[in-house]
Structure formats: structure tokens, C-alpha cells
Amino acid sequence: MLNYEKRDGTVYVRLDGELDHRRAGEIRAELDGLIADPSVKRLVFDLNGLEFMDSSGIGMMIGRYKLMKNRGGSVAVMPGGRRVERIMELSGLYEIIEKMA
């Protein structure tokens, strides 16, 4: 189950628990249905509740970034804990995706 909120053309997704390859597939399936709605212009991932993430999470976010960018939308990330951020920094994802304060 995806924890999200849709407000003024923005979908806020609150990720929690362990984001691995298995979970990334579930999130992808649920999220792509949600952002298929053309009124959605912005997607925000909140990583604060994540206890674990490996590079599958990076792949999932890059994929959603491409989808949103292709239709003129944007993606932003609210940073998570130190461990999650280590993978985020290692991947260079913040060079293409906005990091919110």
C-alpha cells in the first residue's frame, strides 16, 4: 500500500519501511497509475520514513523522473535519514532531482 496525498497537481508519496527491489516494483505499479492522471504536474518523494534503501530505490526514482519530465512535470525529494542519504549522494541523483529543504 502506497501512502500518498494528491493536492493541487502534486502527488506527495511518503515512503516507509524497506525500499528494495521487491518493494520498488510494487511502488512503481501503484504510482504509475496515480501519475498517469494528466493533472499531476509534480511528484514529491518523502524519504523520511524509510528504514532501508538500496540502489533499487534509485532506479525507481530515476524511472519516475523520466516519466514526469517527458510530459513537462517535475520530481522532488524530501531527504531521509543518514543511511538513505548516503545512497542518494552516491548515486548523484540530486544532480537531476530537486532536493527539498
Strands 10-19 and 3-7: antiparallel
Is the Cβ of residue 22 or residue 71 nearer to another protein in the bound state?
A: 22
Single-letter residue type at 32: D
Neighbouring C-beta atoms of residue 34, cutoff 10 Å = 14
- Using the rule CB under 8 A, give the single segment among 5-13, 36-44, 70-78, 86-94 that binds another protein: 86-94
- Using the rule CB under 8 A, give the single segment among 8-16, 17-25, 36-44, 71-79 that binds another protein: 17-25
What's the count of helices (H) and strands (E) in the chain, helices before strands?
3, 5
- Using the rule CB under 8 A, give the single segment among 2-10, 38-46, 56-64, 68-76 that binds another protein: 56-64
Q: Give kind and range of the element (H or E) at residue 9.
A: none
Residue of 3, 9, 22, 98 interacting with another protein (CB under 8 A): 22
Our finding on whether 71 is near another protein (CB under 8 A) is no
Is the Cβ of residue 69 or residue 83 nearer to another protein in the bound state?
A: 83
Question: Hey, which residues does 5 pair with through a beta bridge?
Answer: 12
Our finding on whether 25 is near another protein (CB under 8 A) is yes
| Gap between the Cα atoms of 24 and 55, Å rounded | 10
